[in-house]
Structure 1
Amino acid sequence: MSPGPSSTRSSGTVLITGASRGIGKELARQYESDGWRAIGTTRREFDVTDYSGIRQFAAGLKGVPIDLLLCNAGIAGKRGTALGSFDYDSWEEVLRVNLLGAAAVAEAFVENVAASDRRVVAFMSSRLGSITEASGHTLPYATSKAALNALAKGLSVALADRGIIVVALSPGWVRTDMGGKGAPLSPEESVRGLRKVIEGLEPGDSGRFLNHDGTPIPW
């Protein structure tokens, strides 16, 4: 990965899911401020668990190159669940949103990405998704992000011959509704780091799991 500059080289088109608040909203704001066309989606445009809705929205963008697809939409699910108190309905919902929703979005917009100049798909993961660093806490969320990482790695191989870079990114612990007020990073700081990482991506980085500061995270 090359050291990306503090701002992007030039404008492009980015599609960001989960852009109504938190990291997604800040991603859209920063990209727009740098002259990008930022297509920020919320549940108003489509719910990531509504696969037909995703396809319908994608049909409206047929032929539009998307330089960067940021699959950011996600939920934490119930906190504090442990053996003996698993809520499987909640767990399934987390998997539907965080894993299957991201897969559906990537599938729906892959042709748009392939038609662009930059050709990057980035999945918003979490360090909690690292199997190597597993803590045993927040199991529904952690397992959904570990599965998302597997999706990113698999798609990096499947899309390599089309020149599409696919990565999993961790935004760090961020002061959002999900991260809480005690988190050390502001959304602005996290997104600045993420954008620098994305800007520095090269083909050899496809399939990597990277922190917001560019350091690799073990699977």
Structure 2
Amino acid sequence: MASYLITGANRGIGLGIVEQLVLRGERVFVCARNPDVDPLAVLAGKHPGQVTLHRLDVTDQASVDALADAIAGQPLDVLINNAGIHGPERQGALDMDFEGFARTLAVNTLAPLRVSQALVSNLEAGIKPRIVMISSIMGQLARPMPGDVAYCTSKTALNKVMQALALELKDAGIAVAAVHPGWVKTDMGGPQAPLAVAESARNLIATIDALTLAQTGSFFNYDGTPLAW
């Protein structure tokens, strides 16, 4: 039984990953701003000891510190930084909600680093420890596109944070990578997206399973295909 911690796990891709890990018999630390609601509460009730719920606001240092205290001394094999937002309604280069832009960076870029730093000691005690950032091809510099400036920039910056973290954690034996989950039928992706949550989650887990220290600092598609920056 491996140990996983997933942020933003109350819906969408995060919830899909949790559900499949539970079926596999893994131990899962499930983190969300409000974890005490269905279906998370149902999962925790059906799988006591395997699924534990943790209240976490990834933008609040005190909340992150409380999580670290709650699982202090417990080995962690995989941290999946999944929590994220699309950003403000107005996020064009010539029409920007700057407060919303700052919030997007706080959630999508700064928070994954904050959570990762807080849990390094848990990961050092894990088996084949890995940190995975759920990123997006919308952050690729090789993919020019108009609009969604706040979201795209936050993911580009997340990829750079991931690279730096990978370099600093390599000697500790912790692999770090960014993964694009695909265009998925979620609240953010919309009903027109081609991928079901279960398909994305299944492929993401396989890609995470295959991640090695030799690949640290890399950017992958959900199916494990390397992506350009």
Query: Given the two structures, how large is their TM-score scaled by the length of structure 2?
Result: 0.89
Q: How does 1:110-149 map to 2 (within 5 A)?
A: 110-149=120-159
Aligned counterparts of 2:67 and 2:214: Cα–Cα separation in 1: 31
Aligned counterparts of 2:93 and 2:224: Cα–Cα separation in 1: 35
Match of 1:15 in 2: 5
Match of 2:221 in 1: 211
Matched, 1:37 2:27: yes
Please, which runs of 5 or more residues in structure 2 have no aligned partner?
35-54
Deviation of residue 136 (structure 1)?
Answer: 2.8
Residue-by-residue CA offset, 1:146-171 (whole Å, 9 max, x unaligned): 00000110011000001100000000
Q: How does 1:37-186 map to 2 (within 5 A)?
A: 37-44=27-34, 45-79=55-89, 81-186=91-196
Aligned counterparts of 1:80 and 1:127: Cα–Cα separation in 2: 20
Residue type of the alignment partner of 2:156 = A
Aligned counterparts of 2:212 and 2:93: Cα–Cα separation in 1: 42
Matched, 1:196 2:206: yes
Deviation of residue 118 (structure 1)?
Answer: 1.8
Give the number of aligned pairs.
Answer: 209
Match of 1:5 in 2: none
Bigger mean CA deviation after superposition, 49-58 or 16-25:
49-58
Residue-by-residue CA offset, 1:103-130 (whole Å, 9 max, x unaligned): 1100111110111012000000001011
Residue-by-residue CA offset, 1:17-62 (whole Å, 9 max, x unaligned): 0000000001111111100011110013021111111111111111
Aligned counterparts of 1:82 and 1:97: Cα–Cα separation in 2: 19
Deviation of residue 79 (structure 1)?
Answer: 4.0
Runs of 4+ with >3 A deviation: none
From 26, 29, 36, the counterpart of 2:16? 26
Match of 1:7 in 2: none
Deviation of residue 202 (structure 1)?
Answer: 1.6
Deviation of residue 210 (structure 1)?
Answer: 0.2
- SS of 2:119's partner is helix
Aligned counterparts of 1:87 and 1:173: Cα–Cα separation in 2: 25
Residue type of the alignment partner of 1:33 = L
Please, which runs of 5 or more residues in structure 1 have no aligned partner?
1-10
Aligned counterparts of 2:158 and 2:91: Cα–Cα separation in 1: 20
Deviation of residue 84 (structure 1)?
Answer: 2.9
Distance 1:142 1:193, change over 3 A: same
Identity of aligned residues (%): 38
Aligned counterparts of 1:128 and 1:208: Cα–Cα separation in 2: 16
Bigger mean CA deviation after superposition, 104-113 or 80-89:
80-89
Deviation of residue 80 (structure 1)?
Answer: 5.5
Larger RCO (alpha carbons 8 Å, 6+ apart): 1
- SS of 2:133's partner is strand
